[in-house]
Structure 1
Amino acid sequence: MTAAPITDPAALISFDSLLTEEEKATRDRIRAFVDDRLRPHIAQWYEEAHFPVELVPEFAQQGLLGMHLTGYGCAGRSAVEYGLAATELEACDSGLRTFVSVQGSLAMSAIHKHGSEEQKQEWLPRMSTGEAIGCFGLTEPDSGSDPGSMTTFARRDGDDWVLTGRKRWIGLASIAAISVVWAQTDDGVRGFLVPTDTPGFSATPIEPKLSMRASIQCDIEMTDVRLPADAVLPGAQGLSGPFSCLNEARYGIAWGAMGAARDSFEAALAYTRTRTQFGRPLAAFQLTQRKLVDMALEIDKGLLLALQLGRLKDAGALQHHQISVGKLNNCREAIAIAREARTLLGGNGITLDHSPLRHATNLESVRTYEGTDEVHTLILGQQLTGEAAFA
């Protein structure tokens, strides 16, 4: 007698047995939110290049904004709970997980880690409720993987700072109230809190895009943006400041990518069980089963890796190169899974009725931002050999 099929790849290894009851409750709550409020609309949002800013208060009500931060109205959940939430969000769409990442892991984390008490009190409570949206300005048109070559500059003018420069691929900038901008100064790289209504600051959405269509990425122009002395983040000097925030975002990506992979797998599995060719369901063919098994194994390995990173993070023992392991491996495998899942859908797989190709196009961006494959490979290569190969 054939046992009932397992539709969740994580069930193959009893993944839930590794989670606490609280972690499973958080995961299930976010999954229900995604299934009820996001999944029914994501294909339309993607087609129309619409980010559902109208639902930001509902993200906040779920405790998703600054979820892993403590105090100032933030939820203060564990790293593992945040990772599980990221998985569920990206199982719907990478752009929706990216919103939570930009808001919480980048903009809010920068203020939480490096801001003054006054800056934290002014911005974090409003950002945790979604009243204020933030963005994180590091990448420039000619400075991506090498942020040390940024040309945005902040000069002193009496007690004020005056910023001039450009940033590119800045998530949420056109709807943000506050931008964390990283700039060169006479004393090295510093971070600045720039209200987006400051004269000389402008943000323009980048359109049209083939990827991440249900999210917002912008070009930022700053021309003689004048800021008070207390606009600088006092706890950050040098590139270690933005890098500490990027590590928060990269950690979430290691989990999120597995959500996109899982959803692609589940779409392919469901399709092959009902699509009949040559008198049999596609799922009954050996080559189909091999593809499904290979996808499931990589999802399970990716989830175990993400969980290990989360346990290390919660214990305060996570190292930056370990985050590179998760970001590099899980993005690389997720995009391969999404593409393979699309093959099982045949020609129908290129329509928005099915998610794998949408996930694959989104993952092209996820694989690139917060460090390309090449950058993370070299980080790990240096860790293994002791030799830096960046130059």
Structure 2
Amino acid sequence: MKLNNTAFSEFISNFEQNLSHLFHEQYNIDQLSLSRGLPPELLKGIMDMRPLSVAIPSAYGGRGSIVKECLAVLAAASYESLPLSLTFGINIALFLEPISKYGDDSIKQGVFDRFLDQNNMGGLMITEPDYGSDALNMKTVNKETANGYHIKGTKHWQGLTGMADFWLIASRSENANGDLSRDIDFFMCDISKEGQEIIVEELFENAGLYMIPYGLNKLDIHVPANYKLKPESTGIKMMLDILHRSRMQFPGMGMGFIKRMLDEAMTHCQNRNVGTGNLLAMDNVQFQISRLQSAYTICSAMCAHSSQISGIDHNLATEGLEANTMKAVVTDLMQESAHLLVQLSGANGYRITHIGGRGIMDSRPFQIFEGSNEMLYAQIAEMVVKLMKKQKYQNLFDFLCGFKPAAISSAYFKNELSFNLSEQLPQRKLVDLGKIIARVICAGYVLELQGKGFRKDLADAAILTLRQEVSSLICSFKFDNTLSPIQDYQAGSAWLDFA
């Protein structure tokens, strides 16, 4: 039976069961998580289930690039292993979907066949050692040749370094004067082909996500002309479309992970007896569990919303506000969920094999890569402030009432948001403001999901949690803090001199 003819409920159920069997019966995931990479037999067992088929168009033998199926596979994987889910996320959002949308038709069938039949993988190369988030100033260069393009440069911190069979490589074209174009070009690279081999100069000792290799890559390759991706307008807009779609798929990776943290916490607190009752009978424990449940609900709402708006038939180049909101908020929730589980688990949470402690290390980089959360929150605030000025609004609540992403939820935050914004906000205040706006938008996602029949008690609790967060963030935003570092802090500050 063809994959695209198998009911998705059957497909995902089989995937979840087989993954659980591989990680808990055939292998020990707790021990595996302490080693670099995965045993080849285990990786083959996972990939033989063809999880990446969800991101391949049905015309090429896949399941059809349906967003909710992609997110469900990411969630199923992250319930067992966050690094495995990220491996899938890299392949789906940063390679397969861009090839589906922007790749030359002449290369698609061959590439997709190798993913379906040979368990191949692909990744994306943008980041350079001297240009992290400043992608527009990258120095990797491409030059047109008689047979295609010559690409030369250095990339680092690419997930699946030395492991991927294909890469999408971002670079800038060089003109006759040796100057680099302001636009960005993307090329596919097939490392199995002569002249396209990428030299891995170093593999990094990343502190978490042991399963995924990261490193330093040297590029000096030649690729055919049809390996160049074809943007709908400019290469920069193509890059934004790719990155925003990837950020909108972060909730899929967060979904299974947060659910696992919640399930582990619930089980532990129900079974751990303290005095005359279990941990769950304690008021503060109930508060912590409720925060985990709210994270579960908010992430569920993000997944449902993303499923509607982030397919490859949509161009997301201008959808930075919602993409940044989903990525930043869900990764904050992932990190908090891991911390809550460790705190509730007591000393056991400090074991290196404990899923909570491991989850802290594995989820932490999610707040950094694909744009650090502080940068994304500041961008959210800048977008809103710019729109407010353009539409001549000063009061934040008045503006958000008519702002589509926040209109449905803004009334829940009227008391907190009814204030005027100043003309000039320092960056630290933009970060606070971005956090506030992002959580109001997420409340809208929850209300939208509740309107479709999602449990009202969970939705109400999530809204209350978001209101509490916004209230705390408003206090931080309004607090006058202009502190800056004291350069010569050591002079006169040795405590021993005053003891």
**Greater displacement, 157-166 / 300-309:** 157-166
Q: Kindly provide the amino acid, as one letter, of the partner of residue 338 in structure 1.
A: A
Question: What does residue 169 of structure 1 align with?
Answer: 157
Q: Does 1:51 align with 2:38?
A: yes
Aligned partner of 2:437 in structure 1 is none
Shift of the 312–157 alpha-carbon distance from structure 1 to 2, 3 Å rule, reads closer
The answer to whether structure 1 residue 68 and structure 2 residue 55 are counterparts is yes
Query: What is aligned with 1:192?
Result: 187
CA 308–131 in structure 1, closer or farther in 2 if over 3 Å, else same? closer
Distance in 2 separating the partners of 1:351 and 1:100: 27
Quote the residue 1:17 is aligned against: none
Shift of 1:348: 0.9
Against the structure 1 CA distance between its residues 44 and 207, is the aligned structure 2 distance closer, same or farther, given a 3 Å change threshold?
A: farther
The answer on whether the counterparts of 1:306 and 1:326 sit within 8 Å (CA) in structure 2 is no
- The residue aligned with 2:171 is 183
Q: Quick one: structure 1 residues 62 and 247, their matched pair in 2 at CA, closer, same or farther if it must change by over 3 Å?
A: farther
Please tell me whether the aligned partners of residues 60 and 129 of structure 1 are also in contact (alpha carbons under 8 angstroms): no
Aligned to 1:331: 331
Q: Is the 8 A contact 2:55 2:96 kept in 1?
A: no
Q: Conserved in 2, the CA contact under 8 Å of 1:83 and 1:255?
A: yes
Decide which of 136, 141, 164 is 1:148's aligned counterpart.
136
1:72-151 equivalences in 2 (<5 Å): 72-76=60-64, 78-151=66-139
Distance 1:109 1:54, change over 3 A: farther
Corresponding residue pairs, total: 368
Is the alpha carbon distance of 1:383 and 1:129 closer, same or farther for their aligned partners in structure 2, counting shifts above 3 Å?
farther
1:50 corresponds to which letter in structure 2?
G
Letter in 2 for 1:234: K
Offset, 1:129: 3.4
- CA shift, 1:292, in A, is 0.8
Q: CA 1:122–1:210 in 2, change beyond 3 Å: closer, same or farther?
A: same
Q: CA offset at residue 325 of structure 1?
A: 1.8
Task: Give the Cα separation in 2 of the matches to 1:255 and 1:99.
Answer: 13
Counterpart for residue 280 of structure 1:
277
**Where does residue 42 of structure 1 map in the other structure?**
29
Q: Which moved more, 1:247-256 or 1:197-206?
A: 197-206
Separation in structure 1 between the aligned mates of residue 119 and residue 143 of structure 2, nearest angstrom? 31
Q: 1:191 to 1:269 in 2, by over 3 A?
A: same
Distance 2:148 2:253 in 1: 40
Q: Is the contact made by 1:155 and 1:163 (CA closer than 8 Å) also made in structure 2?
A: yes
Contact between 2:65 and 2:97, CA under 8 Å: does it hold in 1?
A: no
Deviations 1:218-257 (A, max 9, x none): 221113x233333322347522223322233222212211
State the alpha-carbon separation in 2 of the partners of residues 93 and 276 from structure 1.
Answer: 29
Q: Do the aligned partners of residues 345 and 265 (structure 1) sit closer, same or farther apart at CA in structure 2, a change above 3 Å counting?
A: same
- Aligned counterparts of 1:149 and 1:228: Cα–Cα separation in 2: 25
Which range is displaced more, 366-375 or 341-350? 366-375
Partner of 1:343: 343
Amino acid at match of 2:186: G
Percentage of matched positions with identical amino acids: 16
Q: Describe the shift of the 1:242–1:316 C-alpha distance in structure 2 as closer, same or farther (beyond 3 A).
A: closer
Please name the residue that 2:360 is paired with.
360
> In 1, Cα distance between the equivalents of 2:241 and 2:203?
26
Post-superposition offset of 1:336: 0.7
Answer yes or no: is the 8 Å Cα contact 2:245–2:310 preserved in 1. Answer: no
Q: Structure 1's 130 and 356: CA in aligned 2 closer, same or farther, altered over 3 A? A: farther
Aligned counterpart for 2:238 among listed residues 238, 241, 262: 241
State the one-letter code of the partner of 1:193: M
User: Cα gap change, 1:131/1:61 in structure 2, threshold over 3 Å: closer, same or farther?
Assistant: closer
Aligned to 2:307: 310
Q: 1:110 to 1:77 in 2, by over 3 A?
A: closer
Shift of 1:315: 11
Distance 2:62 2:320 in 1: 24
Q: Distance in 1 between matches of 2:272 and 2:62?
A: 46
2 CA distance for matches of 1:158 and 1:68?
A: 34
CA root-mean-square deviation: 2.7
Q: Which protein has greater RCO, CA pairs closer than 8 Å, 6+ apart?
A: 1
Q: Determine the structure 2 residue equivalent to 1:10.
A: none
Pick one of 10, 13, 17 that aligns with 1:32.
17
Report the residue type matching 2:205 in the other structure. P
Q: What TM-score do the two structures reach when normalised by structure 2?
A: 0.68
| CA distance in structure 1 between the partners assigned to 2:268 and 2:157 by the alignment | 35
Distance 2:39 2:305 in 1: 33
In 1, Cα distance between equivalents of 2:134 and 2:330: 23
Q: Distance in 2 between matches of 1:28 and 1:352?
A: 30
Secondary structure, in 3 states, of the residue corresponding to 1:222? Answer: strand
Q: Secondary structure at the match of 2:184?
A: strand
Alpha-carbon contact 1:126-1:132 (below 8 Å) kept? yes
User: Using the alignment, how far apart are the partners of 2:140 and 2:311 within structure 1?
Assistant: 35
Deviation at 1:351, TM superposition (A): 1.3
Native 8 Å contact 1:59 1:65 kept in 2:
no
* Residue type at the aligned position of 2:278: P
1:115 CA displacement: 1.2
Distance 1:31 1:232 in 2: 36
Give per-residue Cα distances to partners, 1:114-159, cap 9 Å, x unaligned.
1111111221221233442222111111222221111111123444
- AA partner of residue 312 (structure 1): I
Structure with max Cα Rg: 2
Task: Label 1:135 to 1:68 Cα distance change in 2 as closer, same or farther (>3 A).
Answer: closer
Matches of 1:122 and 1:315, distance apart in 2: 20
In structure 2, the CA distance between the partners of 1:360 and 1:27, relative to structure 1 (3 Å rule), is farther
Q: What code does the residue aligned with 2:263 have? A: E
Residue 227 (structure 1) aligned with residue 223 (structure 2): yes
Counterpart of 1:212 in structure 2 is 209
TM superposition shift of 1:96: 0.2
Give the equivalent residue in structure 1 for 2:378: 378
